[in-house]
Every structure is written in C-alpha cells, then in structure tokens.
Amino acid sequence: MKNMSLKEIAAACGGTYHGDPALLSKEASSVAIDSRKVQKDTLFVAIKGARVDGHSFIPQVMDQGAICSLSEQDLGDVTYPYIQVASCTEALKDLAEHYRRSLDIKVVGISGSVGKTSTKEMIASVLSEKYCVLKTEGNFNNEIGLPLTVFNLRKEHEVAVLEMGISHFGDMEPLAKIARPDVCVITNIGYAHLENLGTRDGILKEKTSMFDFMNPDGTVILNGDDDKLRGYTSERGIQPVYFGLDPACPFHAEQIQKMGLKGTVATFVTPSSSFSAHVSIPGDHMISNALAGVAVGYALGMKDEEIIRGIEKLVPIAGRNNLIEAEHYTIIDDCYNANPASMKSSLDVLAFADTRTVAILGDMGELGADEKKMHAEVGSYAVKKGISLLICIGTLSAEMANAARTASEASSDSDTKTLVYHFDTKEAFYRQMDQLLKEQDTVLVKASHFMEFPEIVKRLQVQ
C-alpha cells in the first residue's frame, strides 16, 4: 500500500512506534481488524469490541506474518513491532483519511434514509462500464466499515463508490473526512433513525454535512422527488443536480412500462439526450436509482451507451429485492433492513405478482416516538395494495396487524380482503407456516436487521 510505511502510519495516527527502527520504512500490504484476515505484512488494528478484544489476538497475528499491530496497551518487552495509540478506532479513521488523501481517485459518496445500498449497486454497475470501480461491500458503511473499504483501494482502481450510513448527530463528519467525495449523492430524507436525530430536518442537516468535506469543484446529486431535498440550498453555494420521476428534474424518466416482477422499461431523459433501458429489478424506486446512476455517469463523463449497459447489467443482491424461484414459492428476499418507506416500496413490488401475494413483515427499529403509528401505516398500506395474506411478526408488528385488520374489515369488497395474522416470534409462525402458505405463492420477507429474517428465507427455500 503506497504511503503506508510504518513510519507514515505512526505519524498519521499520532502513535508511538515500538520495535526495530530498521522496519520503519516497510510498507503494510493491507489493513485488518479480523485476525482471520491477516496475511503477510498486514497491519492489524486491535479493536476492542463488546464481546471480543482484538488485543488478545496480537501475538497470534504477528506469528501469522503481520507487519505490525496497533495497540491501545503498552505491550512491554515483545519481539515484534507495534504502534501504541490512544484509541484504535480513532487511529483506524485517521489512517483511512491519510491513505485516501494519497490516492488520485474519484470518489462517489452516497447517503440517504432509504435505498443507499441499492443506489450504490446501480451506480457501481453503471460506472464499471468505463472505470475500474471499488464499491462498499455489505454493510461496511460506518466508522469501521468505511475505513476498511478505503484500505481495499489499489492503484488499478479509478473510482470508489462509498456508502455512508449515519444514525446519530456527528456520525457523518468522520466518514466525509475519510471519503472526501468528488460526487455526493443523497437518495432521500426519510424516517430512519428519528429516535436519535429527532426530525427529518435533523436528518437533512446531518446527511448534508457530507458536503463540508467534498471536492469544492465536485458535484452534488439529489433526489428531486424528495420534499426536503427539492430546492435545497447549500451554505457553500453548491448548485445541486436533481434526478427524479418529476419531469422538472434535469434527469427524469418517461414512458415507464412495468413488467411485473421482471422489472421496468423506461425512457431516461438527460439534459442533452434520451434513451431507453430495462431495469431488471422491479419497483419505482429502482427507476429512481437508475436515474441517480445516469446523473453520476454524466458527472464522470460517460456516454449514453455505456450507461445503458451498466443499468441493464445490474443484478439483485441477497436481502435487497432479491427474487428467488424456490420449489414451492417465489420469494422476494428484502430482509436486510426496513423502515416505513422501504416497507411500502417492497409492498409495491409484491403487488406486481400475478399469483397470491403474501407479505411476511417484522418490526422496524429506531423510529422514535411515532413507531407504533408508523407500523400501523404499513399495515393499512398492505391492505390498500391488495396483499392477499399479511403475516406480522414481533412486538411492534402487532400495531401493523391491528391496523391491517381494521382496514380490511372496512373494505367493501369481500373478495379482496387481506387475511391478517400476528405472531410474537418467528418460532410461533413456523408452527403454522405450512397451513398459511400455499403452493406458488409470491412471498415478500422484510424486517429490520435485528429481527434476523434471513432465517425465514432459508426456511421457505427448503419447504
């Protein structure tokens, strides 16, 4: 890793080097916090977690070939080099900021309440048609994950697409300082993390603080369909570029043809052209994601034909509107995480199915004082979309079930009433699953991550 000698590492994180001075010029080949990922010349950072303290693995990783370890402890008279720091977590961020500054690379930073990951995947798919791209993998979008993603950048990479997740005031600043984005994308300002951020205006303030550390000659790309982002004025005088379904947005879509669970075909309009492309993942939100990809592609000098190929090559990932054709059911695996807006979007997708529709929904976290009301709104929405069977699991999901029953009973059409069931736990649901589900059902599975709904997806696949 260029500019990552032990001398530079110690200086970047304000640490004190202990060991043979002759090794100070050696460069680390990689950075890891997991002892299982340590290879020859890896820099090991001993993070102290809730259950495991990385310091206990330092002797082991040095035997495995690590070049050095970062430690908050004085390790005494040891035979291997280490750098003592006040905080390994802060040192990890300082090192990532140092490494990012040393790279001649374009960075796209993505944030938003809903759709960060699916938008990241679309943007990366588009940009990969012209550039060598590194993207955030999985949920590596926080103060630990983002630095580890940055450390994976190598000389062959031309663009990094970095997802940036926040849940508290002050979370964005360290992420933005590391990423230093050239292009900033915000998908929307929703209701996720209201428990910590108070209001949507609080969320807007925190997410837009990304701009404080962006390239001053860079581009801000915002969702023009979002009421908080539309008309946003930056204190730094940056004029945003807008994408959205609203024709007033410079990047918008027309002639949208929905093809059920096979996706959508649309005409994408840019400030200088228009073209048709097929988005294989269904849902209006995927057209919005594609528009973000088009806008980023234009910001980085791509041609229409390159952008079209990138849009059409996108494939779903596990837990994100991933369509699974199992033996007995068609499963929409969207159980990575959830909030009210993404729940409703997923119900929109489910409603496209031409079979009986089943939604297995669970609790949503971090919604603040209005959490019961927001769960109830999702239940009512499921009935409005004509979902055949709604299965609610979890404590808060009782509100979802109660609202759905009320809405269904109020419906004048007895043939389209939604059947509603509530279970306190997944285990209680499993005991009745065979009686509730039918052959050829299309089944949506979605809840916040802590509900561990991937377990349900696996059960459905082996039924």
Q: Are residues 115 and 160 in the same domain?
A: yes
**Six token digits for residue 86:** 């006040």
Ligand-binding site membership of 108 (annotated): no
Ligand-binding site membership of 136 (annotated): no
Ligand-binding site membership of 330 (annotated): no
Residue 259 is predicted with a pLDDT of: 87
- Cα angle, residue 373 at apex, residues 377 and 222 outer, rounded to 5°: 70
Q: What is the pLDDT of residues 392-419, one digit of tens each?
A: 999 999 999 999 999 998 876 666 689 9
Q: Are residues 182 and 235 in the same domain?
A: yes
Ligand-binding site membership of 115 (annotated): yes
Closest to 88 in 3D by CA, of 55, 136, 52, 42: 55
**How many beta carbons lie within 10 A of that of residue 79, not counting itself?**
8
Q: Are residues 108 and 188 in the same domain?
A: yes
293 in a structural domain: yes
Query: How many domains is the chain built from?
Result: 3
> Which of 88, 111, 129 is the last residue in one of the domains?
88
> Which of 35, 56, 88 is the last residue in one of the domains?
88
Nearest-angstrom CA–CA distance, 92 and 68: 14
Q: Are residues 333 and 254 in the same domain?
A: no
Tens digit of each residue's pLDDT, the chain (463 residues): 889 999 999 999 999 999 999 999 999 999 999 999 999 999 999 999 888 999 999 999 999 999 999 999 999 999 999 999 999 999 999 999 999 999 999 999 999 988 888 899 999 999 999 999 999 987 788 899 999 999 999 999 999 999 998 888 989 999 999 999 999 999 999 877 677 777 888 889 999 999 999 999 999 999 999 999 998 887 777 889 999 999 999 999 999 998 888 889 999 999 999 999 999 988 888 999 999 999 999 999 999 999 999 999 998 766 667 889 899 999 999 888 888 988 998 999 899 888 999 999 999 998 988 999 999 999 999 999 999 999 999 999 999 999 999 999 887 666 668 999 999 999 999 999 999 999 999 999 999 999 999 999 999 998 7
Ligand-binding site membership of 112 (annotated): yes
Q: Are residues 304 and 339 in the same domain?
A: no
> CATH code at 66?
3.40.1390.10
90 in Cβ contact with 131 (< 8 Å)? no
* Domain encompassing residue 152: 103-313
Model confidence, pTM? 0.80
Ligand-binding site membership of 87 (annotated): no
97 in a structural domain: no
Ligand-binding site membership of 113 (annotated): yes
96 in a structural domain: no
Q: What is the pLDDT of residues 16-61, one digit of tens each?
A: 999 999 999 999 999 999 999 999 999 999 999 888 999 999 999 9
Q: Are residues 456 and 368 in the same domain?
A: yes
The DSSP code sequence of 243-298 is EESSTTSSEEEEEEEE-GGG-EEEEEE-SS-EEEEEESS-SHHHHHHHHHHHHHHH
Q: Are residues 248 and 117 in the same domain?
A: yes
> Which of 246, 280, 313 is the last residue in one of the domains?
313
Q: Are residues 147 and 294 in the same domain?
A: yes
